[in-house]
Amino acid sequence: MANKRGLSGYSRLKKAELIQLIETEPEQVEAEEEAEPEAEIPPPPTDLPPPLIPPSPPEPEPEPEPELSIPPPPAIPSIPSISDPVEPPNYWPWSQQDEWDDRKVALQVKSAMEAARSKDIAQATVLIDEVGPHLGNRSKLIYPIGALLQRIGRGKAVDKLLEDAAGILPGDQNVITAKSKLRP
């Protein structure tokens, strides 16, 4: 009914208000519509100065970020592998294995010296080659072992022994004594 009377623009009204509009005379509705003139908004005056907008404070200059110095990564130490065992410096003509106790070494060297003194070079060679890999870092044995090697005919081994010992143990009195007695 509201649509037939041309009241379609009033869809936002409540049901009771729509019923009241439908029941009134159509002329009254039109008169009420005409009575409510639309209010015009006057244009703003043009002679006014533009509004003052306070200037925004200048943005502070950003502080330069401190330079971070990153230290270099630490050097990673190399870990010796099981296949490449680290051997201590060796001046003996034999590569060193487990070190024998002093008593066992002394008995073996004495036996080798007695064999060499009795001109049993083969026995002296066997004995010295048996004890040689177990001498360890006993620099006090450089002279007796050097003398024994000299007696069994290994002069080049004596030269290398003295040279290596002097390089590894500079200033060692046992090396100096052996060199002065074996290579005067």
Confidence of residue 19 (pLDDT cuts 50, 70, 90): confident
DSSP helix/strand/coil, 136: coil
Q: Is 105 in contact with 134 (CB distance < 8 Å)? A: yes
**pLDDT one-digit tens code per residue, 112-122:** 999 999 999 99
Which position has the higher pLDDT, 60 or 107? Answer: 107
Query: Which pLDDT value is given to residue 134?
Result: 92
Confidence of residue 106 (pLDDT cuts 50, 70, 90): very high
Task: Kindly report, as residue ranges, where domains of CATH 1.25.40.10 are found in the chain.
Answer: 102-182
Say whether pLDDT at 164 is over 70.
yes
Say whether pLDDT at 139 is over 70.
yes
DSSP classification of residue 25: -
Q: Which two tokens stand for residue 28?
A: 């009254």
**pLDDT one-digit tens code per residue, 56-82:** 777 777 777 667 777 788 887 777 666
Confidence of residue 140 (pLDDT cuts 50, 70, 90): very high
- pTM of the full predicted structure? 0.52
Query: Which pLDDT value is given to residue 45?
Result: 58
Instruction: Kindly state the average pLDDT of the residues 154-158.
Output: 91
Token pair 């490449």: residue: 84
Instruction: Kindly state the average pLDDT of the residues 170-179.
Output: 90
Say whether pLDDT at 183 is over 70.
yes
Mean pLDDT score of the chain: 79
- E-strand spans in the chain? none
Buried b (16+ CB within 10 A) or exposed e, 165-183: bbeebeeeeebeebbeebe
CATH topology of domain 102-182: 1.25.40
Query: Which pLDDT value is given to residue 59?
Result: 73
Confidence of residue 109 (pLDDT cuts 50, 70, 90): very high
Say whether pLDDT at 154 is over 60.
yes
